[in-house]
Structure 1
Amino acid sequence: MSTTPIVPRQAQHSSRLAPAIFELLNPIPYGLFVGTLIFDVTYMSTRNVFWGKGAAWLVTAGLIIAIIPRLINLGHVWLQRRRRVSRIEQIDFWLNLAGIAVAIVNTFVHSRDAYAMVPDNVILSVITVVLLSIAHVAMSMNRVDLAEAVHE
């Protein structure tokens, strides 16, 4: 008689849907925040209200879309215990969270009237993009390191 407990098939394998949704939605806010930065710089140089309003819409859409991947990442990094989470994954979580916090402040700056948002909007957009860029580069390097370790 075997003393190994019988584990249901679902408990043996982690969900594949959550990582798929995360990988699908995670790059979208980054692209929208980069677009916000481009629109903010254009608005600063042209003073055309179109670019300021467009930047406000982009940063807002980026924040809305960022909710789902961040919740999935929260569950993956801090709540699940199936596998060990690397230090880089934790740093990625905190950098993304900091970038989103800066983007929230940037949304309030974009609610100002006309040219009153300049230069704060550009500074906040740069900070957001830099934080998210560092997080994406760190995770990419982590994936490369993991792929090399698997092939060795």
Structure 2
Amino acid sequence: MTAGRPPSTSSIASALFNLLDPIPFGFFVGVLIFDFAYASTATILWIKSAAWLVSLGLVFAIVPQLINLYRVWFARRRVRARGEVVNFWLNVAGIVAALLNAFVHSRDAYGAIPDALWLSVVTVAALGAGRILLAGQLPAYKELNNEQA
């Protein structure tokens, strides 16, 4: 039995990123659903719940995006897949749209729609496109890393 090498900082960061990255996306999809529900029913409960979800989504987006920032721009001895840079900027655009959405949700409930709904769509579309882009490049990325080993 041979002892494997201890996990490096980058593998721990990758595992932490893969664990935490889906959480804000789920919150932002919930915001989109709640904004749509408010636009359909005009029940204030939906827009207030969406305000809480967008705030929680932004809080949970901090750590994965800091890890992503390090992985994409500052990590050494690592091959960067083409889609990682685009995914990084899509995540930044989605988080900026979510931040603007949080400001819109801080207004009166009747003044939040349609701006909140459109910002929710932009947030989910940007984050979703980044995730789809990375999912499409995953096999090529694994082959690239296996060639280096």
TM-score w.r.t. the length of structure 1 is: 0.87
Distance 2:141 2:76 in 1: 19
Q: Contact 2:32–2:120 (CA<8 Å) still a contact in 1?
A: yes
Q: Does residue 42 of the first structure (1) align with residue 33 of the second (2)? A: no
Partner residue, 1:101: 96
**Match runs of 1:122-133 below 5 Å:** 122-133=117-128
Q: How far apart are residue 15 of structure 1 and its match?
A: 3.3
CA deviations on 1:75-101 (whole Å, 9 max, x unpaired) are 010011111212210000000000000
Q: Does residue 115 of the first structure (1) align with residue 93 of the second (2)? A: no
Q: How far apart are residue 14 of structure 1 and its match?
A: 4.6
RMSD of aligned C-alpha atoms? 2.0
Of 135, 139, 145, which residue of structure 2 is paired with 1:144? 139
Pair 76,59 (structure 1): closer, same or farther in 2 beyond 3 Å: same
Distance 1:65 1:13 in 2: 24
Gaps of 5+ in 1: 1-8
| Larger mean Cα displacement after TM superposition, 36-45 or 137-146 | 137-146
CA deviations on 1:104-131 (whole Å, 9 max, x unpaired) are 0000000001210010000000000000
Paired letter, 2:91: N
| Larger mean Cα displacement after TM superposition, 79-88 or 42-51 | 79-88
Of 19, 26, 29, which residue of structure 1 is paired with 2:24? 29
How many residue pairs get aligned? The number is 142
Distance 1:49 1:116 in 2: 11
Distance 2:143 2:13 in 1: 25
CA deviations on 1:8-50 (whole Å, 9 max, x unpaired) are x87x945322111101110010011000000000001111111
